[in-house]
Amino acid sequence: MEEPLVLTVGPDDGPVRGADARVLQAAVDYLAALGGGTVRLLPGEWRLANTVHLRSRIRLEGSGPETVLVKNPSVRTRLAADSDWYEQEIELEDASGFEVGGGVVLQARNPHNQGRSTQKRTLVARDGRRFRLDRPLEENFWVDCEAEVATLFPLLTGNHVQDIEITGLTLDGNRERNERLDGNYAGCVFLQNCRDVRIRDVTARNYHGDGISWQICHDVVIEGCRCLGNSDLGLHPGSGSQRPVMRGNLLEGNGIGIFFCWGVKHGVAEENRIVGSRTFGISIGHRDTDNRIVKNRIEQSGQVGILFRNEPHEARCAHRNLLEDNVVTDSGAAAAEGSGRPGYAVDIQGHTRDVTLRGNAFVDTRGPAGRVAVRLAAETGNILLDSNRFHGFETEVLRL
C-alpha cells in the first residue's frame, strides 16, 4: 500500500515520546494489536531497564547509528526466602536497584540434579522487599541453593513470533557495568522459537554475553550487521536452527565470531569479516551438517580460524559442510606457545566426514614458527582438499 502503518517514537519528538523500554514496548504492542506495522525510532538514546518484546509482523526501524538502545547497569542480590516452582513472588535480601517494570533473571543451583536453574521474568508489583513476577516460576529457587536475582536481560527479545525485521539501530550492552548472561538466555538480540526474521544494518556491541543469539529459529537472515566487543559470541545460530543466512557482517573482538550450536543445518555464512576473535573465528560441531561457509575473511583468531569441534562419536559430528573461497589469516600462536589448539587455520577434529575445503587461502604473515594450516584428526574421513593456497606455514596439512 502507498501508506503503510507506521508509528514514530522519539525521546523528545514524534507521536510517541519517551526514552526507556516502556515507550518502545507500548509502540510495538499497539501496532501488533492492529496486525503489524513499522515502529520507526528517531535519533536518540533509550536506556533500558527491561527487554523490548518483539511481536509478529513488526518492523523495528532505527534512524541509523544515531539511534542507540543502551542496557542499564546490572545489580544482584540473594533471595531472602524460598520460592517454589508454582509461586509468582520473590523476596530479596536487598531491593536496591530493583524496580517495578524491570527485567530480571533468577539463578540457583538446581536442588534435584545439581545443575543450574535460570529463568527470566519481569517485576510487576512491589511491597517493600517483596516483588510479584509477571509469570509463575517453573523451577525451585531455594535459599540453601544460592538462589539469586539480577537485573540481566536481552535488549530485544522474540519468543514464538514470526515475520519480524530489525534494521538501522545500535544496541549497546554496557558490558563494563553488567554481569555476564550467556547466549542461551540473552544477548543484544535474543530470539527463541521464531521464524522468518530479518536483521539488517544493526550494531550489537559490548554485551556481556552474545551479540545476536537465536535458538530453535528458522529462516533467520543476519545481513550487513556489526557485532563488536561482545564477551562471548558474535553470531550464535542456536540449537536446531534451520537455514540461517549470515552475510556481509563485521564480527570483531568477540569471544567467537560465529558459533554453530547443535543441529544447525543448511545454513550459509558468506562474505563476513571476522577479526580478532579471542578463541575461534568460526566454530562448528554437534550435528551441524550441510552448511556453506564461503568467501569469509577470518583474521587474527586467538586459537583457530575455523574449528570443527570434537564429538564423542561419528553420528554427532559436523558432516557434509563446504568451506570455499575463504581467506584465513594469522590464526593462533606459534606451536611452541601455549596449549590446546593454537596455530591452526582449520582444525577438523573427531570423526568428522565428507567436508570439502576448496579454493581457500590460508595465510600466516608472521613466519612459520611451527604453525600448521590444516590439521585433520586421525578419525576424520573423506576430507577433500581442492585448489587451496598456503602461505607462511611450516606444515600445510597435518594428518594425525
- pLDDT at residue 279 is higher than 60: yes
Structural contact between residues 325 and 353, judged by C-beta atoms closer than 8 angstroms:
no
Q: Model confidence over 37-56: pLDDT tens digits?
A: 999 999 999 999 999 999 99
Domain endpoint, select from 118, 150, 182: 150
Let me know whether 57 and 80 are in one domain: no
Q: Is residue 236 included in any domain, yes or no? A: yes
Contact 249, 225 (CB under 8 A): yes
Residue 371 lies in a domain: yes
Q: What is the mean pLDDT of residues 156-181?
A: 98
- For the chain, give the percent of residues with pLDDT over 70: 98
Q: How far apart are CA 206 and CA 208, in angstroms?
A: 6
Question: Do residues 160 and 225 share a domain?
Answer: yes
Domain of 127? 76-150
Same domain (yes/no): 172, 270: yes
Query: Of the candidates 355, 248, 339, which has an alpha carbon nearest to the alpha carbon of residue 302?
Result: 339
Burial of 364 (0-12, 13-18, 19+ CB in 10 A): buried
Q: Please report, to the nearest 10 degrees, the dihedral formed by the alpha carbons of residues 43, 44, 45, 50 taken in order.
A: -70
Residues 330 and 290 in one domain: yes
Q: Are residues 270 and 376 in the same domain?
A: yes
Same domain, 23 and 98: no
- Contact at 8 Å (CB) between 164 and 130? no
pLDDT in tens, 67-85: 999 999 999 999 999 999 9
Contact status, residue 118 vs residue 16, Cβ threshold 8 Å? no
Give me the half-sphere count of Cα atoms (radius 13 Å) on the Cβ side of residue 366.
Answer: 15
The answer to whether position 25 is within a domain reads: yes
Is residue 1 domain-resident? no
Residue 202 lies in a domain: yes
Mean pLDDT of 278-307: 97
Q: Say if residue 101 is in the same domain as residue 245.
A: no
Q: Is the dihedral of CA 364, 361, 233, 398 positive or negative?
A: negative
Neighbours of 336 (CB within 10 A): 10
Among residues 328, 322, 314, 333, the alpha carbon closest in space to that of 380 is found at 314
Q: Are residues 272 and 357 in the same domain?
A: yes
Tell me if residue 98 falls in helix, strand or coil. coil
Is the domain of 180 the same as that of 276?
yes
Structure confidence at residue 336 (pLDDT): 47
Question: Which amino acid does the sequence have at 117?
Answer: S
Q: Are 269 and 282 in contact (CB under 8 A)?
A: yes
Whether 107 is in a domain gets the answer yes
Question: Does residue 121 belong to any structural domain of this protein?
Answer: yes
The number of distinct structural domains making up the chain is: 2
Q: Could you count the other beta carbons within 10 Å of the beta carbon of residue 35?
A: 9
Q: What tens digit of pLDDT does each residue of 112-150 get? A: 887 899 999 999 999 999 999 999 999 999 999 999 999
Cα(first)–Cα(last) distance of the chain, in Å?
62
C-alpha cell at 105: 533473571
Q: Is residue 331 part of a domain?
A: yes
**Residue 145: which CATH number?**
2.40.30
Closest CA to 281 of 189, 345, 371, 214: 345
Q: Residue 253: name the closest of 237, 274, 225, 282 by CA.
A: 274
339 has pLDDT over 50: no
Residues 216 and 196 in one domain: yes
From 132, 150, 168, give the residue that closes a domain: 150
Same domain, 164 and 187: yes
Q: Give the residue from 125, 150, 175 where a domain finishes.
A: 150
Map 246-271 to HEC letters: EECCEEECCCEEEECCCCCECCEEEC
Please tell me whether residues 170 and 186 are part of one structural domain.
yes
For the stretch 236-262, pLDDT in tens is 999 999 999 999 999 999 999 999 999
Which CATH number does the domain housing residue 323 bear? 2.160.20.10
Query: Is the pLDDT reported for residue 30 higher than 90?
Result: yes
